[in-house]
Structures are given as structure tokens and as C-alpha cells.
Amino acid sequence: MGGTARESPEDCRCLAAGASKSRKKTCTRYQICGLLLSVLLISLILIFFGVKYLWNPTPRKVYDMEHTFFSHGEKKKIVMEIDPLARTETFRSGNGSEEILEIHDFKNGITGIFFVGLQKCFIKTQTKVFPETTEAKIPELEGEEITTTYFEQSMVWVPGEQPIQNKEFLKSSKIFDICRNVTIYWIHPTPIA
């Protein structure tokens, strides 16, 4: 027979064994790459859901309200701002030198009252329980007037004799931003005799 070499069965087994080894190496490489990609994909999915559900900070919501009322025949306005993330309520009334700011800091358990005209702050302790805020529907009154009766409390708030010297305890409070450059007094409740 002309110039072709005959292959022995041993040669076929060697060629088949060689092809099998290269297929196994290729399969092993694909399996390792597939495993690494699967682990990477699962890790990314876990990180995504972890960030979304576990680390998700409370969205910042600030509620603004404006109230108008009559006091001694004058129309007065109070603007209230509630910040549930900072756990504060801020009330503003008056204009210019007659402006009054009252900040309820529920995180630190203090209330600060700043009188712009006096350039003085007064602080008092309060509860740390933050009132629940819900987005309730306010009924619309057609042609009706809302009347509210307030009863005077038999309590008056009296400032301490000496101003506060060390204001460090206020540094973590929004009150510090307003009162840091003015004189601050503690005020205490005193019953009216």
C-alpha cells in the first residue's frame, strides 16, 4: 500500500488520551470560570440588596406648616417645621427684632427659645419622645371659621440668675447653631401664686 503509515491501536489510544486530557483541562477551566462568575454575581446581588434594605437611610422629610391666629386684635403667623430625621421641631413667629425661634430638640431632650431683639437664648429640658407625624388629610371648611380656646396654665418659666458658661453640651444640637454667640439661660417652671 502506497505511502500511508498504518496506525496501531496503541497510537489511537495515545491520541485519544491526549485529546481527553486537553478536553478535561478546557472543561476544568470553564468550570472554574463559571464558578467564579457565579460567586461574583451572587456577591453583587447580595451587596445590592444589603445596601438597598439594610443600609438605606430614612429619606429626609421636612414638613412645613403655617398657622395664622389673632392675638390682642393683631393677626399673627407661626411657621412650624418638623424634621423627623434630625428629630426637631422649629417654630418661627414675628419679624425682624420681634422674631422668636423655638426649637424642640427631641434627640437631646432640650428646647431652645431665641429672642432676636433681646439677643438671648433660653433653654429648658423636655421629653425625648418624638411626636409621630402622619400625613393626615386636613378637612376643608367651606365658609366656616375654626375657633380654638386656650386655657392659661398656672405656671410661668423663670430664667436662672446666672447665664450658662459652658455651652459644650449643646454642640450636637441645632440649638447651638442659633444660640452659640448669645447669652444662654436655663429656664425653670415656677407656679403662679
Please report, for the chain, the start and end positions of each structural domain, with discontinuous segments joined by +.
23-56, 65-132+149-191
Residue 140 pLDDT more than 70? no
Per-residue confidence band for 138, with pLDDT thresholds at 50, 70 and 90? very low
Residue 12 pLDDT more than 60? no
Predicted local distance difference test score (pLDDT) of residue 141: 47
Residue 136 pLDDT more than 50? no
Report CA-CA distances (Å) from 60 to 36, 87, 103, 148: 39, 11, 18, 32
**How far, in Å, CA of 68 to CA of 75, rounded?**
7
> Cell 423663670 sits at which residue?
158
Predicted local distance difference test score (pLDDT) of residue 96: 82
Predicted local distance difference test score (pLDDT) of residue 155: 75
Instruction: Quick: pLDDT tens for 61-99.
Output: 666 677 776 767 777 788 888 888 888 888 888 888 888
Amino acid at the residue 120: K
> Cell 386684635 sits at which residue?
73
**How far, in Å, CA of 69 to CA of 148, rounded?**
10
Predicted local distance difference test score (pLDDT) of residue 112: 92
Instruction: Quick: pLDDT tens for 22-68.
Output: 667 778 888 898 999 999 999 999 888 877 777 655 555 666 677 77
Mean pLDDT rounded to a whole number for the chain: 76
**DSSP assigned state of 118:** T
Residue 146 pLDDT more than 70? no
By DSSP bridging, strand 183-191 and strand 155-159 are antiparallel
Burial class (CB in 10 A: 0-12, 13-18, 19+), 179: buried
